[in-house]
Amino acid sequence: MASLGTFTLLAAFVISAYAAAAAIAGARRASRSLVDSAVGAFYLVAALLTVGTAVIIHAFVTDEYSIKYVQHYSDSVQPFIYKLTSYWGGLDGSIMFWVFLLAVFGSTAVYVNRERHRELMPYVVAIISVVQMFFLFLMVIHKNPFETFLVTAPAEGRGLNPLLQNAYMAIHPPALYIGFVGMTIPYAFGLAALITGHLDDSWLRAVRRWTMVSWLFLSFGLTLGMIWAYEVLGWGGYWGWDPVENAGLLPWLTATAFLHSVMVQERRGMLRVWNVTLVIVTFFLTIFGTFMTRSGVVQSVHAFGEDRQLAWMFTGFMVVILTVSFGYVIYRLPLLRSRHELDSWVSREAAFLANNWILLFAAMFVLFATMFPTISEALTGERLTVGPPFFNKWMLPIGLALLFLTGVGPLLAWRKSTVINLREQFLWATIVGVVTPVALSFAGIPFWPAGLSFALCAFVCVTIIQEFVRGAAVRKQGTGTDYLTAMVGLVARSKRRYGGYTVHLGIVLMFFGFTGEAFKVDEQMLLQPGQQARVGRYAIRNDGVRVTDDGQKQMITGHLTVFHDGKELGKAYPGKWLYRRHEQEPVSRVAIRRSAAEDLYIVMPGFELQDQSVSLQVVINPLVDWIWVGFGIMALGTMIALLPEQVLGFAAAKLPAPSSIGMLLLMLVLMGAPARAQHVVDPAFTPVVPKSALEKDLYKSLICMCGTCGRQLVGECTCGYAADMRAEIGNLVKMGLTRDQVLQYYIKKYGSQEPLAMPVDKGFNRLAWLLPYVLGAGGLLLIGGAAIKWSRHSTATAATAAPAPAAPSTEAADKELEARLDDELRDLD
């Protein structure tokens, strides 16, 4: 089975290469059949990767531990559903899942648009194929998920990290990946438009919906990540500015900017360079985010670990993306000139522009701050870190400015707003926006930042409600129906507009929830049995610790009684679970008492069975549930906007309507997925500490030779054999051997260069080291060459065929044929 899997990957790589070459050649030769064959090959890649996915899932389900990846991320006792999700539980599989999604998405996009955008499609196919090739190349060369054990296959798997055996973690990565992968489609269309020079707005119409769908999934993925962090990780918050979270946020910010600025181009023909740039940057950031989390460039609690080779491959790819994309932007600048100039700063396009700048700045800031430790280390050699407070300091005003624009932008007129217009639109909103903080200050809420945030929330809410009410009133007059019908009719009539307002409403609610953070209470305590402690208006009493066992795990549960203002509210049971075979990774169970106003959040990090005492972390999180509600409303708004919009005729490049409803249902179901709170802290493994730079280097230069770990580096391998090897290396170094001498020692000991992580960089070995890269580059060159040659070939044959149409032999054959035809026709008569 493993070889079938590897074969599908190889075949997919080759066929992607063909699709890219044939598509470009077909476009240049204007050969319909060549382009069709490229599209066919493109679909074939999706089919092959589906087969590959089936193979790997089959391997997981049938516990095929001869495949390393399966062995590493699954075991026989794992519930069925988590065997499936193990597919994307590790690095190799997640790359494969990524390509699989890309192939399916790409094929769908190409299929939906097969009768439209004829001039763009070949290039779209080629660009997506090249991106697929990159990821397939990564797998084939470096991270093949189908790699098998060479000698003996273990009988049992290691099991997926219990932290990931969780409903949220099952859906969170796919949602995020769909969002990431989906951003490739707009990029492919944008770059195709740049290459072909068909830079009218048709490519925008083709990608707007795709961007929206991807944006929705990205938002969904980010929200799920927050919920997971909140309910499972048990540190009391939902967003820690971790590099992995930031990697998802970056493209979200630029995609949000694009979804706004695209309207300006549609309406006013402005910002054309800007839109193309945003599409490119968004795609780039999805790749960059993957790079950041997969290559170990940035240290994070849940990055995948360090991998230099992968880092270089990604760097190469990113350089190519940037060079090609911006090269074309510069080349096409004359075609991208704006049709209009900005008339006034008090106009909707100006507000959108401001919103875009802020969003882009936010993205750049997050990028900078995330990379800051790496940057500072590279520049000064001193590793400086910035924590969440630094992010918050900057992102708070940025967020509030965006919130303000959310209210202002949609109410300004295109081109120029008049004073009368402004007064009419903003009178009530401004009054509410001013009264709210004043009223709140009497309630003891300071103006900065909570009061301002609440004021802006109120301001934006009024503007949105006003839009709905005024629109409905006009429609009611026009159609003579009742208010509610008018409202529904209004939304149905211009779904994009009112869908957008609904999204804004969701954003406001999310901000409302974020503001609760300002009133957060976080306390830690140690309670003896019967002892009681106050946290805010709550009091918590320790009733003791119980230990139970259900055969699969040992469960330690703290029994607490919660009081509010002296009144007993009920019991709370934070716990700690120790799974069999995972005793080193205790899983915390958070006890959360939810309410619209605030959550009481209790974790039990420590306990003492002898004296029944518990250590507790008690957090009061005001308004936090509004974030999740806000996301629900935001998703609903996006769905409304995504519904086919017959009235405005934007139905081009649409997704089938049922799919958005299906998606809505799916998300609603997923939102309600049971909150299975688990928390695993990494097992206590004895860390590997090289004593000198030489040792550190050797750890990376030698592989574990136990015969079953595959080619894991000595420094990374966790088996006992590697520990022995490390000790041996330590002794050798202590004896004063140089690096080469140690390597020679191992070559002699094992009789070959096998223990070396990479071949000695000399003579023939250098070739072995270079070969994969040479092959990859050669393949690319070949494709490019073939594409150019084929496209030239057509003009060449046309040129040679034209002057000599009357070659004697063909003429003779033609005459013969004509004679025969005549005969046959005569017979018919």
Contact set with other proteins (CB under 8 A): 71-73, 89-90, 149, 154, 158-161, 163-164, 301-305, 361, 368, 372-373, 382-387, 389-390, 393-394, 522, 524-526, 528, 584, 586, 588, 605-606, 613, 615-617, 680-689, 691, 706, 708-709, 717-723
Contact between residue 65 and residue 73 where contact means Cβ atoms under 8 Å apart: no
The torsion angles phi and psi of 64, rounded to 5 degrees, stand at -85, 85
Closest contact distance (angstroms) between CB of 573 and other proteins is 18
Which residue, 197 or 305, is less far from other proteins as judged by CB? 305
Q: Which residue has the tokens 């192939």?
A: 103
Residue 661 falls in which region: left (phi positive, over 0), alpha (psi -120 to 50) or beta = alpha
Closest contact distance (angstroms) between CB of 204 and other proteins is 25
SS3 labels along 14-62? HHHHHHHHHHHHHHHHCCHHHHHHHHHHHHHHHHHHHHHHHHHHHHHHC
Closest contact distance (angstroms) between CB of 758 and other proteins is 21
Q: Which of 289, 371, 305 is nearest to 143 (CA)?
A: 305
Which amino acid is it at 469? V
Which residue, 285 or 680, is less far from other proteins as judged by CB? 680
How big is the CA angle at 648 (ends 642 and 666), to the nearest 5 degrees? 10
Distance from C-alpha of 108 to C-alpha of 471, rounded to nearest angstrom: 36
Closest contact distance (angstroms) between CB of 67 and other proteins is 13
Contact between residue 619 and residue 601 where contact means Cβ atoms under 8 Å apart: yes
Which residue, 387 or 785, is less far from other proteins as judged by CB? 387
Which residue, 390 or 519, is less far from other proteins as judged by CB? 390
Distance from C-alpha of 275 to C-alpha of 204, rounded to nearest angstrom: 9
Which residue, 385 or 795, is less far from other proteins as judged by CB? 385
200 C-beta neighbours (distance < 10 Å), count: 12
Contact between residue 338 and residue 400 where contact means Cβ atoms under 8 Å apart: no
Which residue, 142 or 493, is less far from other proteins as judged by CB? 142
Six token digits for residue 505: 């409403």
The torsion angles phi and psi of 15, rounded to 5 degrees, stand at -70, -35
Q: Which of 165, 299, 160 is nearest to 232 (CA)?
A: 165
Cis omega (within 30 of 0) for bond into 373: no
Closest contact distance (angstroms) between CB of 615 and other proteins is 5
Closest contact distance (angstroms) between CB of 166 and other proteins is 13
Closest contact distance (angstroms) between CB of 745 and other proteins is 23
**Spatial CB neighbours of 646, under 8 Å, sequence gap ≥ 6:** none
Closest contact distance (angstroms) between CB of 681 and other proteins is 4
Would you call 445 helix, strand, or coil by DSSP?
coil
Q: Which of 253, 290, 87 is nearest to 169 (CA)?
A: 87
Closest contact distance (angstroms) between CB of 369 and other proteins is 9
Task: Report the Cα 309 to chain-centroid distance in Å.
Answer: 22
Which residue, 65 or 512, is less far from other proteins as judged by CB? 65
Closest contact distance (angstroms) between CB of 401 and other proteins is 13
Distance from C-alpha of 483 to C-alpha of 471, rounded to nearest angstrom: 10
Which residue, 74 or 214, is less far from other proteins as judged by CB? 74
Closest contact distance (angstroms) between CB of 229 and other proteins is 12
Which residue, 149 or 468, is less far from other proteins as judged by CB? 149
**Spatial CB neighbours of 547, under 8 Å, sequence gap ≥ 6:** 554, 555, 556, 557, 609
Which residue, 147 or 467, is less far from other proteins as judged by CB? 147
Which residue, 160 or 199, is less far from other proteins as judged by CB? 160
